[in-house]
Amino acid sequence: MTIRSVVIGSGHYLPEKCLTNADMTRLVDTSDEWIVERTGIRQRHLAAEGETTSMLATKAAIAALEDAGIDPQTIDLIVLATATPDYTFPSTATQVQAALGITGGAAFDLQAVCSGFVYAVATADNFIKAGSAKRALVIGAETFSRILDWTDRTTCVLFGDGAGAIVLEAREGEGANADRGILCTHLRSDGRYRDKLFVDGGPSTSMTTGHLRMEGKEVFRHAVANMAETVEESFRLSGISPQEIKWFVPHQANRRIIDATAKKLNIDPSRVVITVDLHGNTSAASIPLALSVARRDGRIETGDLVLIEAMGGGFTWGSALMRW
């Protein structure tokens, strides 16, 4: 008997305000053609004034809990991936816990930037497998609009705000690839690349929030190789082949990175879930947003083999294979 972390619900939330590429041309010297050709992005959602990461996260969590059909009080772990917390402390996870009326268990934030959701899934899965939690809420939520330099056209056109969540539940499995639940996770990081993608502020350095800075070409160069590396390791160790993947749900940073990674991994384009066109890069929220969208429109069905992967600042990267 093996304990498996099975997805029993998913949900997402996008702020109402939506900025198209045409809207972006009124803010910086750019064009719809440039943005679409280089990134595949057509629009992004932005949090309203006063709308915080915890508010987006709470709405996504409520949708996931409703989808699971469970009482929020039965959640004994909340792991919230974000690089844009409401405050330096307390954690955004505890704000969500309070908003949901949950008074038991543990809640904490996890910071791995765009890889945050994969890291959060791996963390929650290990808590569940160790017997330390029975039902975990795993959330990715961001308000990247608050850390963008809105005068820098090389970065401000790329990102958006949003939140997504899944509920994981401990269930018994056979220890086989046919089991429902998280089958394997692989996490990596390499801190030597800190200055390729970072925020130029923080409580212990500038005592300000800072703005996102990125060497886009360098990030692009590492992204495909890094993400493919952990996925190939998952395939090798699990014995699962690319052809068995029903849905590939990568971090939604850039259409060109997604297409190149799928090609390198030998995954058919019809199996790739794309939301970057409509959401932009929502960092830690992008994968749970895409999972929830694909679940709600009927693409992801119970029993489907789903592969998620991401890379982000640090660099951090990782992947997880799960049977929904």
Q: Residue numbers of the site for ligand ACO (CB under 6 A)? A: 30, 34, 38-39, 114, 153-154, 157-158, 197, 214, 216-217, 219-220, 223, 251, 253-254, 281, 311-312
Q: 34 or 108: whose CB is closer to ligand ACO?
A: 34
Q: How far apart are the first and last CA of the chain?
A: 19
Smallest separation (angstroms) from ligand ACO to the CB of 189: 13
Annotated active-site residue 18? The verdict is: no
11 strand-pairing partners: 165
Smallest separation (angstroms) from ligand ACO to the CB of 317: 8
Q: 39 or 145: whose CB is closer to ligand ACO?
A: 39
Annotated active-site residue 177? The verdict is: no
270 — alpha (psi -120 to 50), left (phi > 0) or beta?
Answer: alpha
Q: Which two tokens stand for residue 87?
A: 């405050």
How many angstroms separate the CA atoms of 217 and 221, rounded?
Answer: 6
Out of 12, 45, 114, 279, the active site residue is: 114
Nearest to 167 by CA among 49, 280, 79, 277: 79
Q: 6 or 285: whose CB is closer to ligand ACO?
A: 285
Rg value, the chain, Cα: 18
Longest Cα–Cα distance of the chain, Å, equals: 59
Q: Which two tokens stand for residue 95?
A: 């704000």
Annotated active-site residue 114? The verdict is: yes
**In the complex, residue closest to ligand ACO by CB:** 216
Q: 113 or 168: whose CB is closer to ligand ACO?
A: 113
Out of 12, 211, 251, 279, the active site residue is: 251
Q: 129 or 146: whose CB is closer to ligand ACO?
A: 146
The Cα-based distances of 17 to 5, 106, 160 in angstroms read 35, 33, 10
How many angstroms separate the CA atoms of 255 and 261, rounded?
Answer: 10
Q: Are 42 and 276 in contact (CB under 8 A)?
A: no
Catalytic residues: 114, 251, 281
